[in-house]
Amino acid sequence: MSAHRHRTPLRGVTVTPRPRPDDPSYTSVNYAYAGKKGHVHEVVTIGGRELAKVGFDDRKIVYYLLDDLEMDESATRGTFHDLDQK
Question: Which CATH code fits 4-83?
Answer: 2.30.30
List, for residues 59-82, the tens digit of each pLDDT value: 999 999 999 999 986 755 554 555
List, for residues 48-65, the tens digit of each pLDDT value: 899 999 999 999 999 999
CA distances from 1 to 5, 31, 45, 51, 52 (A): 13, 28, 13, 17, 20
d(CA 83, CA 64): 25
Segment among 25-29, 39-43, 76-80 with least mean pLDDT: 76-80
Q: What is the mean pLDDT of residues 22-38?
A: 96
Tell me: pLDDT of 1 over 50: no
SS3 annotation, 19-65: CCCCCCCCCHHHHHCCCCCEEEEEEEEECCEEEEEEECCCCCEEEEE
d(CA 63, CA 42): 10
Q: What's the mean pLDDT when you consider all of the chain?
A: 83
